[in-house]
Amino acid sequence: MKNNKQIKNPKIAVIPGDGIGKEVMPEGVRALQAADKKFNIGMHFDHFDFASCDYYLQYGTMMPDDWFETLMQYDAIFFGAVGMPKILPDHVSLWGSLIQFRRCFDQYVNLRPVRLLPGVPCPLANRKPGDIDFYVVRENTEGEYSSVGGKMFPDTDREFVIQESVFTRQGVDRILQYAFDLAQSRPKKHLTSATKSNGIAITMPYWDERVEAMSKQFGDVRTDKYHIDILTAQFVMNPDRFDVVVASNLFGDILSDLGPACTGTIAVAPSGSINPEGKFPSLFEPVHGSAPDIYGQMIANPIGQ
């Protein structure tokens, strides 16, 4: 919401990744090329084979040492999907590629639209296109998805693991600022915060405090909050109640899959990992994963790409 200027002749790094990412990416590029031709944008595409399990099998790492410097030359990253669990554990492939992009490029906003499209059967009764139309704004760089922690006394009866959540004031405030700005730009002017401050006694009350403080700067935006358990139920029962939903990394991850599922399928839903200031390239991808179970059958829907 901060950097809306149009980039002249944008350079786009195309990374198909794994599984059906390789199958849907050509159609995604073809759609961009059609838009480029119609609107005379001047897009330039370069293709890369890293951030994939095939690359890992060949080189023993998900990406080359100079991946950061290479991708910094581009305005955006067009990404397919990552992960082939029969080849490599998901936590290795994900932390070695997609999470590196999000954190090193400070893509602190994950933006996912939830919209019921014409022609897509809705699993919810009596819903038609236009009834469901909101955004999930997810904090994308800290929160519950932290690498702070460890394991002690492995393989003994004293074995235990600890993983800590990290919520910084800067990190929380900037995602809330983005979400409030987005809500203010929409007709409903309504923001919903996902929390669990009745059970998570430190980080979630802090999140609530920052939401309340930020709301005072946006007097025209109606603000409410739901605990994450009842919020998931409301997504199913009353999806038309929402406009902009803002959440921490974990809660946002869950909600941004549940939302599109309520509109029929996550297969056609898009996702953006955004650096709003434009200092680093942002990344755009489908919500769906690499789907190894259907890879090779050429039946994957490319709409989300």
1 in a domain, yes or no? Answer: no
pLDDT at 107: 98
Sign of the Cα pseudo-torsion (103, 105, 106, 107, in order): negative
Instruction: Clarify whether residues 116 and 255 are in a common domain.
Output: yes
Q: Clarify whether residues 101 and 165 are in a common domain.
A: no
5 Ramachandran zone, left/alpha/beta (phi>0; psi -120 to 50): beta
* Strand ranges for the chain from DSSP E: 11-17, 44-47, 76-81, 109-115, 133-139, 149-152, 160-163, 190-195, 222-227, 244-247, 270-274, 282-286
Do 190 and 161 lie in one domain? The reply is yes
pLDDT number for residue 147: 84
Angle at 200 between CA 154 and CA 193, to 5 degrees: 130
In a domain, 226, yes or no: yes
Residue 268 and residue 303 in one domain:
no
Say what the pLDDT of residue 266 is: 84
148 and 130 fall within a common domain: yes
Query: What CATH number should be reported for the domain holding residue 265?
Result: 3.40.718.10
| Same domain membership, residue 257 and residue 285 | no
Give me the pLDDT at residue 268, please. Answer: 86
Tell me: do 137 and 264 sit in the same domain: yes
CA angle 260, 263, 266 (to 5 degrees): 35
Contact 210, 156 (CB under 8 A): no
**173 and 125 fall within a common domain:** yes
Q: What is the pLDDT of residue 159?
A: 96
In a domain, 101, yes or no: yes
pLDDT tens digits for range 35-80 = 999 999 999 999 999 999 999 999 999 999 999 999 999 999 999 9
In a domain, 141, yes or no: yes
Q: Which residues of the chain have pLDDT under 50?
A: 1-2
Same-domain pairing of 97 and 206: no
The number of domains in the chain is 2
Q: What is the pLDDT of residue 4?
A: 56
Residue 282 resides in a domain: yes
Residue 212 lies inside a defined structural domain of this protein: yes
State how beta strands 270-274 and 109-115 pair: antiparallel
Inside any domain, residue 230: yes
pLDDT for 3 equals: 55
d(CA 72, CA 69): 5
Residues 258 and 159 in one domain: yes
Looking at residue 1, its pLDDT comes to 41
Q: How far is CA 65 from the centre of its chain?
A: 25
pTM higher than the cut 0.85: yes
Residue 292 lies in domain: 6-107+276-305
Q: Does 15 map to a domain?
A: yes
pLDDT, residue 78, reads 98
In this structure, are 120 and 258 located in the same domain? yes
Q: Could you tell me if 154 and 283 lie in one domain?
A: no
CB 194 within 8 A of CB 204: no
